[in-house]
């Protein structure tokens, strides 16, 4: 651990002095030197969760129970036109199939690891027993099976996702294709079913012209940038497709569930010429819709938005990601300030529908009273470290009592953003840099911008065990920017 600390420090020092001299290398050269693979591909329909084969198939016939099979295995398939890559896939798909659940469901996932290396499946954002969390403490060896079992509590309707979480290898396994969405529905969902749903799983990658993933050695210039920023890709995928087209009818209202599954890219989403109705985040719907121009969605965060078809029949617009400066100046990518198109939103030729009414009240979010907090914790995020330490599987960093309500102050003391994630328990943000959060929402990840502090309140209501706390820039997690919260039953 000691040598690791030293080499980390050295690397950061090298980045700091060396990088000013660098120009950004071409990230994924094409044979003719152009970079046309990131350009719009017309007329690819956007895969949506409405298509049956995108789901994990529930083989249980008992109401209220869901039994699905999930296999992680190597595959040889094309992620971009014209070239195949050696990927890792869940059930042969990238992204993996969507797990669709109802509140109250008792879920068993029979998972088999057919990869040549250990892995886990982590159910990001869910409240579940510790032995089903799929943390690095619970690896599934090659050829082994593991059954993940959990029950979805009431109030957890929302959009979540699953991904591997093996010790030190999360970035490479997610990058090779292991990520998928989870949609949990409530029987009393306040949004009308007539708002048709779209699921958008965002991710990025860098792929060389021969189809191999562009992973860098830390000794190279790009390797140092990846180490510091987390590995970003110039190829922006929505459900595994580059700039697909999504159809909407004039006057129609669509409900989009969006997952940021990228290893380190933060998206700042906006639709040209339209506002968005922001209705939910990590842990599901807000109390009321909020009209916004744009939404920042950091790594592992989710949003629910209502997209209103305010355009005219036959027209089209673009969902784009606007520049978002999460970087240290030394490693800021040269094109960071360029907006990038994610998908084309095309209005059909059909005559406009009369827009439906959006409910003004969605669902109550319980109030967690700071006066009930039995402890206030300080968590300090520095580059690659939490509370000045690297991850150690055998060390508990924070202990809390089962049933306790606590306030956590998460400080980011360095000059780049770090999205903080807590396993197993959802929290409510109290304030950011002292500014009270404008309304309540359930979160499991929160971006802590450069040199800022976020305070949240959390109740460790159930499920004792050792839960991960970490930065969700996956390279940082692998580098050891992770700690363990132990929730204990004893006095």
Nearest approach, Cβ of 9 to Cu ion (angstroms)? 16
Residue from 54, 67, 124, 326 in contact with ligand C2O (CB under 6 A): 124
Between CA 301 and CA 155 the distance in angstroms is 18
Residue 470's binding partner, choosing from ligand C2O, Cu ion, none, with beta-carbon cut-off 5 to 8 A by kind?
A: ligand C2O
Residue from 54, 418, 459, 470 in contact with ligand C2O (CB under 6 A): 470
443 binds ligand C2O (CB under 6 A): no
- Asked if 162 and 180 count as a contact pair (C-beta separation under 8 A), the reply is yes
DSSP annotation string for 300-362: T-EEEEEEE--SPTT-EEEEEE-----S-GGG--TTTTS-EEEEEEEE-SSPPPPPPPPPS--
459 binds ligand C2O (CB under 6 A): no
Q: Identify which of 121, 113, 173, 99 has the alpha carbon closest to the alpha carbon of residue 143.
A: 113
Residue span 290-319 as binding mask against ligand C2O, x where in contact by CB under 6 A, dash where not? ----------x-------------------
Residue from 468, 473, 484, 487 in contact with ligand C2O (CB under 6 A): 468
Residue 257's binding partner, choosing from Cu ion, ligand C2O, none, with beta-carbon cut-off 5 to 8 A by kind?
A: none
DSSP-derived secondary structure letter, 129: -
DSSP-derived secondary structure letter, 394: T
DSSP annotation string for 106-118: EEEEEEEE-SSS-
421 binds ligand C2O (CB under 6 A): yes
Scan residues 450-489 and list those touching Cu ion (CB under 5 A). 471, 473, 476
Which of 264, 344 has the CB closer to Cu ion?
264
411 binds Cu ion (CB under 5 A): no
Cα 396 to chain centroid distance, Å, stands at: 25
* Tokens read off for 298: 């950091």
Sign, CA torsion 308/312/313/316:
negative
Residue span 420-449 as binding mask against Cu ion, x where in contact by CB under 5 A, dash where not? ---x--------------------------
Scan residues 145-164 and list those touching ligand C2O (CB under 6 A). 163
Longest dimension (CA), the chain: 67
Query: Would residue 104 be called left, alpha or beta, if left means φ above 0 and alpha means ψ between -120 and 50 degrees?
Result: left
Scan residues 218-277 and list those touching ligand C2O (CB under 6 A). none
**Neighbouring C-beta atoms of residue 285, cutoff 10 Å:** 21
DSSP annotation string for 54-109: GBPP----STTEEEEEEEEEEEEEEEETTEEEEEEEETTBSSPPBEEEETT-EEEE
Residue 278's binding partner, choosing from ligand C2O, Cu ion, none, with beta-carbon cut-off 5 to 8 A by kind?
A: none
Nearest approach, Cβ of 469 to ligand C2O (angstroms)? 8
Nearest approach, Cβ of 252 to ligand C2O (angstroms)? 33
Between CA 284 and CA 158 the distance in angstroms is 4
Residue from 54, 67, 124, 163 in contact with Cu ion (CB under 5 A): 124
Which of 174, 253 has the CB closer to ligand C2O?
174
Residue from 165, 176, 255, 411 in contact with ligand C2O (CB under 6 A): 165
Phi and psi, residue 4, nearest 5°? -65, -40
Contacting residues toward Cu ion, per CB under 5 A = 124, 418, 423, 471, 473, 476
Which residues in this chain contact ligand C2O in the complex, by CB under 6 A? 122, 124, 163, 165, 300, 421, 423, 468, 470, 472
């Amino acid at each position: 651990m000691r040598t690791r600390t030293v080499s980390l420090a050295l690397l950061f020092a090298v980045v700091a002095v060396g990088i000013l001299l660098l120009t950004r290398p071409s990230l994924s050269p094409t044979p003719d030197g152009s970079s046309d693979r990131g350009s719009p591909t017309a007329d690819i329909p956007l895969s949506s969760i409405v298509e049956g084969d995108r789901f994990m198939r529930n083989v249980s016939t008992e109401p209220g129970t869901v039994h699905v099979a999930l296999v992680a295995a190597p595959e040889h398939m094309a992620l971009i036109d014209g070239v195949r890559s050696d990927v890792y896939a869940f059930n042969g798909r990238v992204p993996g199939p969507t797990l669709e659940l109802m509140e109250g469901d008792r879920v068993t996932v029979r998972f088999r690891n057919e990869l040549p290396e250990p892995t886990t499946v982590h159910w990001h954002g869910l409240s579940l027993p510790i032995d089903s969390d799929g943390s690095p403490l619970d690896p599934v060896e090659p050829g082994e099976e593991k059954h993940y079992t959990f029950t979805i509590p009431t109030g957890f309707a929302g959009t979540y996702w699953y991904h591997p979480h093996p010790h030190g290898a999360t970035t490479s396994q997610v990058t090779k294709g292991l990520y998928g969405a989870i949609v949990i529905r409530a029987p009393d969902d306040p949004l009308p079913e007539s708002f048709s749903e779209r699921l958008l799983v965002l991710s990025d990658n860098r792929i060389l012209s021969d189809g191999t993933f562009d992973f860098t050695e830390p000794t190279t210039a790009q390797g140092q940038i990846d180490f510091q920023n987390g590995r970003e890709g110039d190829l922006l995928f929505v459900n595994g497709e580059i700039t697909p087209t999504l159809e909407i009818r004039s006057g129609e209202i669509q409900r989009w569930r969006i997952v940021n599954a990228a290893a380190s890219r933060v998206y700042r989403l906006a639709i040209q010429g339209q506002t968005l109705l922001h209705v939910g985040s990590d842990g599901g719907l807000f109390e009321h819709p909020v009209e916004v121009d744009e939404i920042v969605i950091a790594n592992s965060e989710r949003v629910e938005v209502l997209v209103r078809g305010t355009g005219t029949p036959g027209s089209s617009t673009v969902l784009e990601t606007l520049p978002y400066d999460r970087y240290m100046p030394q490693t800021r990518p040269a094109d960071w300030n360029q907006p990038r198109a994610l998908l084309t939103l095309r209005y059909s030729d059909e005559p406009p529908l009369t827009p439906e009414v959006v409910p003004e009240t969605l669902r109550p979010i319980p109030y967690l009273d700071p006066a009930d907090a039995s402890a206030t914790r300080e968590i300090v995020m520095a580059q690659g470290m939490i509370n000045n330490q690297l991850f150690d599987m055998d060390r508990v960093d924070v202990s809390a009592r089962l049933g306790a309500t606590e306030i956590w102050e998460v400080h980011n003391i360095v000059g780049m953003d770090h999205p903080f994630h807590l396993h197993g328990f959802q929290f409510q943000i109290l304030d950011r840099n002292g500014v009270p959060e404008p309304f309540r929402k359930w979160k499991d990840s929160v971006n802590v911008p450069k040199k800022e502090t976020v305070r949240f309140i959390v109740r460790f209501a159930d499920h004792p065990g050792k839960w991960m706390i970490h930065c969700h820039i996956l390279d940082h997690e692998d580098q050891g920017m992770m700690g363990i919260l132990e929730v204990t039953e004893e006095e």
